[in-house]
Structure 1
Amino acid sequence: MFPAKFQAVIFAFIMSGFMAFLMSGILTFINLGWFSGFAAAWLKAFLYAHACAFPLVFIFAPLSRRLTAMLIKTPELSGN
């Protein structure tokens, strides 16, 4: 498939795709309700959302990892 060096980019693309797809659908429904052109409106919103979300996920993933590491208690090593 793809070389391992592309893992971060592929992860960001897939994760942002899932989030953009779900959030754009939810927000389209909240703002417009169910109507005959809902699927087209959702698709348009998704395309805009994913175009924004992909680079943002890619850029902010390292910061998110660092903040998570600061919040997680790591087990202390013992001599036993």
Structure 2
Amino acid sequence: MARWCTPAGCPAAKRSSSGFASDALGELPACIRKKGFRLVFSMVMGAPMIFVMTFVIIAVNVGWSGRLLEAWAKAFCVAYVVGVPLIFPVAPIVRKLTGKLLGTPPSPRSARRASAKLREAPP
């Protein structure tokens, strides 16, 4: 394992004692858990979005027939395989674009930096 992947080499290595599911990954350094967050987020975010969208589109196109569940399951599997990899690179871009459109920082870290700059600025 590379030096930066060890708990001693990772500046963000902190152990969680919250009792949540993330404690199951307590043996992994925090830097690896942070990198895995985007991948897991993509898979979790993709499931309900793709579930609803494929069901609605198939229900409209096929109707309430005996083929609905079979057609929906096939469409869901194909859309999930295509959609989740798209969420991974697109989500940060959309987050930044939304921040620009609304004039707000796109992440909590950016929000803290922006509020710190406001406090430092002379009145």
TM-score range, shorter-chain basis? 0.7 to 0.9
The percentage of counterpart residues that share the same residue type is 32
Question: How many pairs were matched up?
Answer: 80
User: Residue 9 of structure 1: which of 39, 55, 61 is its match?
Assistant: 39
Matching residue of 2:71: 41
CA RMSD of aligned residues (A): 2.0
Matching residue of 1:20: 50
User: Residue 67 of structure 1: which of 64, 86, 97 is its match?
Assistant: 97
Ranges in structure 2 where 5+ consecutive residues have no aligned partner:
1-23, 26-32, 105-113
Counterpart of 2:45, as a letter, is M
Specify which structure has the bigger relative contact order, considering alpha-carbon pairs within 8 angstroms and separated by 6 or more residues.
1
Which structure shows the bigger proportion of residues in helix conformation? 1
- The structure whose Rg is larger is 2
Ranges in structure 1 where 5+ consecutive residues have no aligned partner:
none
TM-score under structure 2 normalisation?
0.58
Deviation by residue 1:13-71 (Cα, 9 ceiling, x = unmatched): 11111111110000000111011121111111100010110011112111101101111
Distance 1:23 1:70 in 2: 27
Distance 1:37 1:27 in 2: 13
